[in-house]
Amino acid sequence: MNIVERYHAMDYAAAPEARSGADAWLASRDFAKSLFIAGAWRASAEGRTFETADPSNGKLLAKISEAGESDIDAAVAAARAALPKWSATSGYERAKVLYAIGRAMQRHQRLLAVLESIDNGKPIRESRDIDVPLAIRHFIHHAGWAQSLDTQFPGRKPAGVVGQIIPWNFPLLMLAWKIAPALAAGCTVVLKPAEFTPLTAVLFAEICERAGVGAGVVNIVHGGPEAGAAIVNHPGIDKIAFTGSSEVGRIIRRATAGSGKKLSLELGGKSAFIVFENADLDSAVEGLVDGIWFNQGQVCCAGSRLLVQESVAEAFIAKVKTRMSRLRVGAPLDKNTDIGPLVDRSQLDRVRRLVAEGAKQGAVCWQPDCDVPATGYYHLPTLATGVAPANILAQEEVFGPVLAVMTFRTLEEAVELANNTRYGLAASVWSENINVALHVAPQLKAGVVWINGTNMFDAASGFGGYRESGFGREGGREGLEEYLAASETQGPAIAPAVPRKAASGDGKADGNGIDRTTKLFIGGKQVRPDGNYSLPVMTAKGRAAGEVGLGSRKDIRDAVSAARACKAWPEATAYNRSQVLYYLAENLSGRVEEFAARIADLSGGSRKAAKAEVEMSIERLFYYSGMADKFEGRVHQPPARSVVLALHEPVGVIGIVAPDEAPLLGLVSLVAPALAVGNTVVLVPSATAPLVATDLYQVIEYSDVPAGAINIVTGHAAELAAVLAMHDDVDGLWVVAAAAICARAETESSGNLKRVWTGHGRSIDWRMPPGEAFLRRAVEVKNVWVPYGD
Ligand code: NAD
């Protein structure tokens, strides 16, 4: 045999990772008491248990205590009792605890990796080299945030007791993403791991005991949807952080509506992997292996849709097939394994069902001819070609090792195909031309974009999605925000709207001026309401002040279309937007007396107070004009050869339901930050003082605001807020109104999971200095990873 023949004849020998340490740990633990509550190990009060098994052979690993409602009650009570002390602990002391957790995890790194692989089925190379080190990095990184909280987030308070629910695909990493920022912010935690993968969370709780985490600061309860729902619905919880499917995310959105609980949702995805003809195709193939076959494709941000430029499609797919034929499907603990089993029989059945359905809808599914172990929930890596954009494999999250291929001709077509999904989690762009890649990245509706790379994560760079991939970020500054209470001081409850009655019963207006018709303002024009109804507006004294159009569902639809069609505003430079907003302020300043008279009339306050409100509104507009080109993103330098551009992008079309109190200042305080960063707005102004908003039409018209950037629909706030919440083309919704209106807006928003912020039915003192809170709500942070070096 010559050297070449010998080279080709070489095969892999088994390289099993030892599991004796994990077996010893499993044998020594009393899993009958696996709930970690108030610093002690407990059995479930009702004595219920469930089994966790090794997906590579179906063998039982442990019987775990399953938390019932009374156990969740106990865990929440423990977290509540621990909150005052933990949140008052100095940042330095909290930092030491986070650091101790990170270091203790490092000391048990191998055990954590082996347990993760036998419980989940993921190849040991991945748990050892990716999951566990990243989880450790999260704790050590957040130690620094704990200590610098006072200087970096002055005056902010922790969100309180946090309920956290995580999935099974990255059990330890998702736990770290949840617990580290919560502890850094001073919150206490009740966390529920997924029912398929509880083991590393049990070991983590042991680590917490040893690392000096105070009793009740971290509570870990086990169970399935029932235990999850008990956490979500628990009145003693202040914030819910959920990672899982969009379907359950929707249930949680509805369940928490009106409760005042803060909510972050990290949900599913259908991420595009875009290969341009000028890409380094061999690197892109390696990226693709990582993008879709990492963790058997059970990755929320898996690059499950390959979009490849037509000119190189054939050559690229041939390379992909060759590479797929060399993937090694095998035991998770074999260090040569590329693809392990799926987590459970039910997941395998689901993937098979989706592949069969995709084939029925015309996809051609190809699998390499490779060895598969006789037992275990294995699914071969699968390549689906001939996939139409509407095919189930192009639209549904498979959460398995299945890649759907589509081709494109032009850059524009690539962007359109990539965005043709209801999700918005991640995307990869492959091109050796950095100009092309950086031109495409901002056009992709995704929270993370990797250029010439994929599946890169770091504790300092936020991760999270747009649209039905959820809202909120994990990691970095943005991630920490999720665990801090809102910065506004809330005032008294807003009373439900009661139509004003005419005092004298004559309903006539004061004065002899020419009758003015007040319409809606849509697409830069004053238009009649679709239903041709009007709504009387009364002064505080009960005199008729005028009439405004009664906006309806149809008017909101028209306004949303106009806002969506307006490209001039989001595409304008920040400097340009800044000048237009300054000009708006300038033009408003010419009409101070007129607006003050209107406000005084409608609100019943003094003329002096009304004038002060107008002056302050102009000042506020000036502030946000100035911030338009200053509220910028950041650059992160992760421990990899990459820079991460954390770009601020507008949320998109934002619906705003403005308050009755301070009708001009409240309106400006909401609309101006939304506009400053490039959103377009559909505004429902105060119901008692809508004329303050309709008086603005002319100011807007002669201030160079592009048509469609601001649209104003007057009418009943309760009804119009619900229509905005249900509208699938509205990306964000802000509501300051009575509690019932806020609650309904949250419930109805679950359709497209738009980002909703409400004042929870409480009034806000708009005279407070504005800060950055609304600017933060007005942007999505998109993290663009740009690698460097050869
Ligand atoms: P899942 O939604 O079924 O379950 C997730 C968690 O929620 C589990 O702990 C489960 O017990 C619990 N749960 C289920 N029903 C519940 C209910 N009604 N109320 C409260 N809790 C409930 O998801 P899964 O199958 O475990 O995980 C896969 C999903 O997670 C995929 O859609 C994936 O994309 C998503 N995911 C997202 C991210 C992200 O960061 N965006 C990361 C990992 C996974």
Atom of ligand 1 nearest to the CA of 196: 26
The token duo for 44 is 């479930």
DSSP 297-357: G--TT---EEEEEHHHHHHHHHHHHHHHHTPPB--TTBTT-SB---S-HHHHHHHHHHHHH
Cα 240 to middle of ligand 1, angstroms: 13
364-391 core/surface letters (b: 16 or more CB in 10 A; e: else): ebbbbebeeeeebbbbbbbbbbebeeeb
Residue 78 region, left (φ>0) first, then alpha (ψ -120 to 50), else beta?
alpha
Closest residue CA from atom 17 of ligand 1:
225
Give 620's contacts (C-beta < 8 A, 6+ positions apart). Answer: 665, 668, 669, 672, 770
Is the Cα dihedral 27, 33, 37, 38 positive or negative? negative
Predicted pLDDT at 500: 77
Is residue 384 within 8 Å of 363, Cβ to Cβ? yes
Element (H, E) at 723: helix 717-726
- How far is the C-alpha of 362 from the C-alpha of 166, rounded, in Å? 35
- How far is the C-alpha of 481 from the C-alpha of 503, rounded, in Å? 48
Could you list the beta-strand ranges (E) of 461-588: 470-471, 490-493, 520-522, 525-527, 534-538, 544-549
Helix, strand, coil tally for the chain in percent (to 5): 45, 20, 40
Predicted pLDDT at 509: 54
Which residues, judged by CB distance below 6 Å to any ligand atom, belong to the binding site of ligand 1? 165-169, 192, 194-195, 224-225, 228-229, 232, 243-245, 248, 251, 266-269, 300, 397, 399, 425, 465, 469
Q: Name the DSSP class of 444.
A: S
From 292, 300, 463, the mutation candidate for ligand 1 (largest count of ligand atoms within 8 A of CB) is 300
- How far is the C-alpha of 7 from the C-alpha of 677, rounded, in Å? 59
From 177, 248, 349, 422, the mutation candidate for ligand 1 (largest count of ligand atoms within 8 A of CB) is 248
pLDDT in tens, 376-402: 999 999 999 999 999 999 999 999 999
Strand, helix or coil for residue 63: strand
Give 129's contacts (C-beta < 8 A, 6+ positions apart). Answer: none
Centre a 10 Å sphere on the Cβ of residue 247 and count the other Cβ atoms it contains: 10
Residue 505 region, left (φ>0) first, then alpha (ψ -120 to 50), else beta?
left
Cα 252 to middle of ligand 1, angstroms: 11
Closest residue CA from atom 9 of ligand 1:
194
Closest residue CA from atom 14 of ligand 1:
225
What does each C-alpha distance from 641 to 278, 429, 432, 789 come to in angstroms? Answer: 22, 17, 16, 7
Closest residue CA from atom 40 of ligand 1:
266
Closest residue CA from atom 21 of ligand 1:
228
- How far is the C-alpha of 390 from the C-alpha of 69, rounded, in Å? 42
Closest residue CA from atom 22 of ligand 1:
225
Active-site annotation, residues: 266, 300
Is residue 306 within 8 Å of 91, Cβ to Cβ? no
Give 789's contacts (C-beta < 8 A, 6+ positions apart). Answer: 641
- How far is the C-alpha of 198 from the C-alpha of 194, rounded, in Å? 6
pLDDT in tens, 188-233: 999 999 999 999 999 999 999 999 999 999 999 999 999 999 999 9
From 66, 177, 243, 252, the mutation candidate for ligand 1 (largest count of ligand atoms within 8 A of CB) is 243
Closest residue CA from atom 30 of ligand 1:
244
- How far is the C-alpha of 456 from the C-alpha of 437, rounded, in Å? 17
Cα 225 to middle of ligand 1, angstroms: 9
Cα 166 to middle of ligand 1, angstroms: 6
- How far is the C-alpha of 785 from the C-alpha of 646, rounded, in Å? 9
Is residue 119 within 8 Å of 57, Cβ to Cβ? no
Atom of ligand 1 nearest to the CA of 194: 9
Atom of ligand 1 nearest to the CA of 223: 11
Apex CA 156: angle with CA 150 and CA 161, to 5°? 110
Closest residue CA from atom 32 of ligand 1:
245
Give 488's contacts (C-beta < 8 A, 6+ positions apart). Answer: 759, 764, 765, 768, 773
- How far is the C-alpha of 502 from the C-alpha of 504, rounded, in Å? 6
Cα 195 to middle of ligand 1, angstroms: 10
From 169, 220, 261, the mutation candidate for ligand 1 (largest count of ligand atoms within 8 A of CB) is 169
Cα 476 to middle of ligand 1, angstroms: 22
Q: Residues in the chain, how many?
A: 790
pLDDT in tens, 476-519: 999 999 999 988 878 899 988 877 777 655 555 555 566 777 89
The token duo for 744 is 């309904």
Cα 266 to middle of ligand 1, angstroms: 9
Closest residue CA from atom 16 of ligand 1:
225
The token duo for 39 is 């610093």
Atom of ligand 1 nearest to the CA of 165: 9
Element (H, E) at 721: helix 717-726
Cα 251 to middle of ligand 1, angstroms: 11
The pTM assigned to this predicted structure is: 0.96
Atom of ligand 1 nearest to the CA of 246: 32
**Around 198, how many Cα atoms within 13 Å sit in the side-chain half-sphere?**
28
Is residue 759 within 8 Å of 680, Cβ to Cβ? no
Atom of ligand 1 nearest to the CA of 300: 34
HEC string of 242-270 equals EECCHHHHHHHHHHHCCCCCEEEEECCCC
Cα 56 to middle of ligand 1, angstroms: 22
Atom of ligand 1 nearest to the CA of 245: 32
Please provide residue 755's backbone torsions phi and psi, each rounded to the nearest 5 degrees.
Answer: -80, 120
Is residue 358 within 8 Å of 404, Cβ to Cβ? yes
Atom of ligand 1 nearest to the CA of 224: 11
The token duo for 662 is 């301070």
Atom of ligand 1 nearest to the CA of 269: 34
Q: What is the dihedral of CA 23, 24, 28, 34, to 10 degrees?
A: -40
Atom of ligand 1 nearest to the CA of 248: 2
Q: Which residues of the chain register pLDDT less than 70?
A: 503-514
Cα 168 to middle of ligand 1, angstroms: 8
Cα 248 to middle of ligand 1, angstroms: 7
- How far is the C-alpha of 144 from the C-alpha of 134, rounded, in Å? 16
Cα 150 to middle of ligand 1, angstroms: 33
Start-to-end C-alpha separation, the chain: 37
- How far is the C-alpha of 264 from the C-alpha of 273, rounded, in Å? 26
From 66, 170, 232, 245, the mutation candidate for ligand 1 (largest count of ligand atoms within 8 A of CB) is 245
Atom of ligand 1 nearest to the CA of 232: 20
Cα 22 to middle of ligand 1, angstroms: 26
Cα 36 to middle of ligand 1, angstroms: 21
- Angle between helix axes 20-28 and 109-120 (nearest 10 degrees) is 80
